[in-house]
Structure 1
Amino acid sequence: MDWSRWYSLKSYVRSSLWTVPLIAVAIYAVVKPLTEMLGRWMIRQGILDPKTGFFGLSMTGARSLLADIVSADLAFLVFTFGSLLVAIQVAGGQYTPRIIATTLLRDNIIRGISGLFVFALLFANRTAGWMGEDEVHQLQVFIAALLGFASVVAFLFLIDYAAKFLRPVSLVARVGERGLAVIDSVYPAPSSGVATAPERDKERGTPDRVVRLAGSSGIVLAVNMKMLVAEARRANLIIEFAPQVGDFVAVDEPLFYLYGNTGAINETRLRTLVAFGTERTMEQDPMFAFRILVDIALKALSAAINDPTTAVLAIDQLHRLLRMVGKRSLRIEEIADKSGQVRMILRTPNWEDFVHISFREIRQCGAGSIQIARRLRAAIENLIQSLPEHRHDALYIELSLLDRAIASKLEFAEDVALARIPDSQGLGGSATSIANN
């Protein structure tokens, strides 16, 4: 299996809810025979009394207990998956559909608890069917009882966890955390504090060879940079990746530009080092976390939902991500091999891209809300104060646009004056208003 297929399979497994219950079935197939063998050995050694065991249950009591465990775990499974389907519909409609695969279906606690229910159900059902007419398998009944108790506790925990997990503040915080991790991996170097203009296009000139996408169209999910650098070093050339991670690439569009000894490279091999899919993921796509947060804010500001407080929560996370991005080096990334020779060029978003996606659409939809206008201003002014000077120009432009939008959308001078007061809570008070009191 080549790298691109392996990556796509791994990404699919991570975002699929059924994989953990399937693993639980495999674990059950191994553990159940081992416990049966252990139970027989404990009886032969006199460690376990076959009649009294741990609970001293009769055949009728044991079968009744096991039947209750099977019924409970089956009900837990039905309720869990039924509720999850409803939660997915609600989250997709109220927040954004892009949060389903990136957050809801990747939650390991929900997946793990559903796996526990499957394991307990199979174990209890097998124990009930394995017992004869006059023999109670005490160890298996004891283990099934423990699993049943654990299932009840896990189910109660799941209800509380899911209720908290689906709150807007929890969802946007999770997206923000994942966004920070991606930014840290894509932009590991700190900013030099000096704005640098890219000279790459002038230096490289016209590519000696263009490798185009073959097969089927798709969205670029990830690139195996380590292997591409190795291929470029082996062939003694420079590989430029034409699209960005997250771009949609159609069949026959440029995928790689090659400079140098192009005859020594295998096009098919290069194509297998790029993973494509139908939906963006956050593994190597720093802009996708911004996109999800902006979509949540826009949905909250729509007339159908009208929840500016949720939009403020999204702006909180955008502000957090921008602070980190602004302190990193965002130059066109030239990746060198061990000898220091540039082998690969990978385009990544620049500072203006991040600023535009964070503020433009939210300002267009929410500048008429005093709460949103104040929170946007607080974020922009804080970024101007905390980030290097070469990041300020794009922020000053957004601040000017915000002032003009406020003036055009608010009719009364008092509202305009209030909207121009920065407030990290939206309408939760500010230094200016407190001083005036």
Structure 2
Amino acid sequence: MKELWAKFRTVCFSIQSKIAFYPSLFAIIGFFLAFVMIYAENRGISAYLMENTPTLVVNNGNTALTILSACITGLISMMVFSFSMVMVLLNQASTNYSPRLLPGLISNKKHQVILGIYLATILYCIFIAISIQPDGESYQIPGFSVLIGIIFTVICMGAFIYFIHTISQSIQINHILDGIYESAKNRLSFLIKDPADTTKDFPDSKNWPEYYTEKSGYFQHLNLKNLKAVCDNEEISIRILPVKGEFVLKGNPLFRASKKLDEKTLKELQDTIVFSRGELVSRNYALAFKQITEIIVKAMSPGVNDPGTALNGLDYLTELFSMRMLKNDSSIHITDKGNRIKENVLDFKELMYNVMASLRTYCKEDITLVQKLGLMFQYLKNRESIDPGFYNVINDEAKTLIFDAFEEITNPKDQELLKELSEKLNLNN
């Protein structure tokens, strides 16, 4: 039962990033609510209200149908407009910033919930309208259900105003950068506090049996609860080989186990490793570095030429690097029975190199951005680090940046600024 529940949670997590998830969920709620209200009408709720508070009940069939028809027509128009605005947002983000931003924008719960409210109200009004019969002496118009539909429509109007507000913010680059930063910050804060990032003892796994992937996809996350249970049941330790966020091809090495596994155990272990075709910052903080780097690179491309956005992106990168310096380059989980599960982690050196390799290519000719990067290095060298070796990585990347900048920037005044920057960073040129 626990395994089925864990699998259900994994499936729910994988579909939460789909734009149709919350709208579909709310549509089902609206559908069932309509039948609940029809049942309540058959039990005489409108007749009771007519006797006690007649002003709350629409007691004319034609009027009720006219009101519901107007609500349905207006809500469909609002929903179409809202979906169009979402598509415009996604298109602009992909064109102006980076296609990697799309999964995060699509999974925006606010927009999904608003579209879901529209859809639920439309379905509710449709089924209530269908339930209205011609007037008759013995027939009571479902006036209270119509009132509920009117209230839901008013709520949709408020949601529409809020949607316009949020969509106008979502298109702004500062809002996008802040969203990426907050997601990565929350994930890094969680990992820094996780005991798995402070444990370093793990046996040599070079000669352990190696097992391979059965399908291709991005390695998204581990279902640790189930994985620990399998390791304890089989008395084994596991080393996960790919780095989280890496695209793993079918047949590539996936993990090593401390002993040979049977088919059943192998299947249980593979079910705890979740693959997907998309990536989210909330599960992989390294993706935030990629996204912000790509925004900076796109801003500095000749077609866009927006150094202001690049400078903003560097501010967020500086904050994230300072947080990453508080996290170990290892992640080892210990089960209840003392078995170990080791995840491969993108180390600080490789992370900074990947970021700086792209930034140097597009920023080394701009003295303003080189100075900003120099301030980033200066700030990081003065920050607390869990590993003294991180300072050497920062120093090496700073030297490489200054070297490339001297090669590209020939203006004597700008070169004087580079020399001053080199001195501030205590670089031995």
Normalising by structure 2, we get a TM-score of 0.85
Shift in Å at residue 263 of structure 1?
6.9
2:66 aligned to 64, 67, 70, which one? Answer: 64
Partner in structure 1 of residue 169 of structure 2: 164
Aligned amino acid, residue 405 of structure 2 = I
Partner in structure 2 of residue 212 of structure 1: 212
Contact in 1 for aligned 2:300/2:363 (Cα 8 Å): yes
Shift in Å at residue 404 of structure 1?
2.1
Contact in 1 for aligned 2:221/2:274 (Cα 8 Å): yes
Superposition map of 1:30-429 within 5 A = 30-39=32-41, 41-45=44-48, 47-49=49-51, 52-54=54-56, 58-101=60-103, 103-134=104-135, 136-188=141-193, 204=204, 206-214=206-214, 216-260=215-259, 266-328=265-327, 330-339=328-337, 341-388=338-385, 389-417=388-416
Work out the CA distance in 1 between the residues paired with 2:186 and 2:289: 13
Shift in Å at residue 206 of structure 1?
3.3
Contact in 2 for aligned 1:237/1:262 (Cα 8 Å): no
5+ residue gaps in structure 1?
A: 423-437
Work out the CA distance in 1 between the residues paired with 2:360 and 2:130: 64
Contact in 1 for aligned 2:181/2:320 (Cα 8 Å): yes
Q: Structure 1 residues 4, 349: closer, same or farther in 2, change over 3 A? A: farther
Shift in Å at residue 14 of structure 1?
0.9
| Structure 2 SS opposite 1:335 | strand
Partner in structure 1 of residue 28 of structure 2: 26
Shift in Å at residue 410 of structure 1?
2.1
Aligned amino acid, residue 402 of structure 1 = L
RMSD: 3.1
Q: Structure 1 residues 190, 255: closer, same or farther in 2, change over 3 A? A: closer
Deviates more, 1:130-139 or 1:182-191: 182-191
Contact in 2 for aligned 1:239/1:344 (Cα 8 Å): yes
Contact in 2 for aligned 1:241/1:256 (Cα 8 Å): yes
Shift in Å at residue 326 of structure 1?
0.6
| Structure 2 SS opposite 1:70 | helix
Give CA-to-partner distance per residue, 1:94-132, whole Å, 9 cap, x none: 11111111x111111101111111122122233333323
Contact in 1 for aligned 2:46/2:143 (Cα 8 Å): no
Work out the CA distance in 1 between the residues paired with 2:31 and 2:205: 61
| Structure 2 SS opposite 1:186 | helix
Q: How many residues align?
A: 412
Partner in structure 2 of residue 433 of structure 1: none
Normalising by structure 1, we get a TM-score of 0.84
Sequence identity, in percent? 17
Work out the CA distance in 2 between the residues paired with 1:106 and 1:168: 17
Shift in Å at residue 396 of structure 1?
1.5
Contact in 1 for aligned 2:184/2:282 (Cα 8 Å): no
Contact in 1 for aligned 2:191/2:197 (Cα 8 Å): no
Contact in 1 for aligned 2:210/2:257 (Cα 8 Å): yes
Q: Structure 1 residues 149, 237: closer, same or farther in 2, change over 3 A? A: closer
Aligned amino acid, residue 364 of structure 2 = A
Shift in Å at residue 421 of structure 1?
7.7
